[in-house]
Chains A and B, each alone.
Chain A
Amino acid sequence: MTDASESPAIEVQGLVKRYGDFTAVRGIDLRLDRGRCLGLLGPNGAGKTTTIEIIVGLRAATEGSVRVLGLSWPGDDREIRRRIGVQLQETRFPDRITVAETLRAFGAFYERGPAPEEIMELVGLEAKAKTRISALSGGQHQRLALGCALVNDPELLFLDEPTTGLDPQARRRVWEIVEEFKRRGVSVLLTTHYMDEAERLADDLVIIDQGTIIAEGSPAEIIGRLGQVSIVEFRAEGADDAFLAEVAELPGVVEAGRVSADVVVEVDSVAASVPAILALVEARGLDAAQLHIHRPTLEDVFVSLTGKRLRDV
């Protein structure tokens, strides 16, 4: 056996997944080094979940190679499963079972790992030990899902959209727990369609759209690709392509586009462009509602790469 501790946590090459005529994943390469967090970012239907399900052994790849902790499917199934922790999207635990009972049952599948009490403390559910699943809030249920992924003290953690549908406070609690695990040296593969989540948790990012990688690097690198630009956004009902073309010609403007009802303008000079844009808006009898100017975020990168917002899709 090769020295598995030296191999990357995840190494995926040329991954393809076809369902009949439909190709969900079209040749993806991924590498997650030990102790790092890789964020898989993309809109719904981009192929993130399919990719993660192949890596955790729930689906077979059509083509390509997948190595997890230096091991591979099929063959090392049990060994891989012993050492990974997985939180899947949409798992519903049995309603009438309590938090402590659920963690205890999951713990029974592994030779070792922390006791349920320890896990509950870790995910902030110690007060809910005897609460039935049906009485948990969305955030608590999600933290239990995270807890169930930790019962074996995993080396590698898979989190598939861990905060989808949660309120901001509940999301921050989940992030804190994940950060605690990163500090302990656990490798994390995270999928999300929240840019702020990816910026906060991921060391490296891979942006996927329609089954292919469209950008990769650290969050700062990816954002840096847009250059030293600022983003001017406003809502202008009735802004048409002719209007956008005019905006693009204004001084200080790099590019102008529309994402649903919003006009999104990349500018390299705020001082030169904004007065000119507003003057044009005024002249065309439009309104610049909710005008704001900000540094580019991953969201803007995504818009610039695909012409659509992550959550729109």
Chain B
Amino acid sequence: MRFWEKMQGIDRRVIFTLIFASVIVPTLWPLHLPTAITPETQAFFNAIDSLPPGARVMLPFDVWPSTLAETEPMAVAALRHCFKKNLRVIGLSNVAMGGPSIADRILKRIGDEFGKTYGIDYVNLGYKANYQAVLLGMGSKIADIFPTDHHGTRLDSLPLMREVPNYDSVRFILIVSDNAMVDYWVSLVNARFGTPMGAGVTAVMAPKQLSYIQAGQLHGLLGGMKGAAEYESLIGYVDKANRGMDSQSLIHLLIIGFIVLGNVGHFVVRRTKGRGGQI
């Protein structure tokens, strides 16, 4: 039997089935594996933990609905940390597709969990187009870019926003993003206005953001679901990200197995064909 040739031509639906199984099994029977904390996540935690109660922070939800599995646990954990420390949160979004709705939902859910009041403890500014103009414009006067919040309430009737004319009154910016918005926050806001910031990004974005960490342009980074899981452990609220790490482990091992098996099969077939023989 041409075993390795058969293995090379295996139907991809077999691979899909194995992937499904390796997600479903740990979800149903969790392994509760511990998650080691990376220095970047610790730095992110420390940056927020060092803020005094009552400090105003900005939390841009620059995320698409497609990546909520990674970004929502980060945003939820960051909000829990902020509200636990009685920080006051200004939410907004630079992503038209769902960003302001996602911000609204998460802010309300976690705000209610901690008994926070809209307008005093947190605000959702909503979305405005052209992110470069938005980021620069807020450095001058937030009310010029956002005359109202997401719900249509004038900014000057919101107690929190009466204290925040621009970035000067913001102590820290916690960016949750799945796209290049972090680059713009860093290069426009941190560079021009000096506002310190940290970022929670999808795992695809994380390698690039480490350059900003090393350059001191970002103070802390959460990378993907793992970063969210680490942060959840640090703040003491174990949630979806931690529960997902078991499946993550199994699938990683499976994919490594695929790479090894695929390469072994490829070289065996190539070598045997080179000898002109059968496998």
- Tell me, yes or no, whether A binds B: no
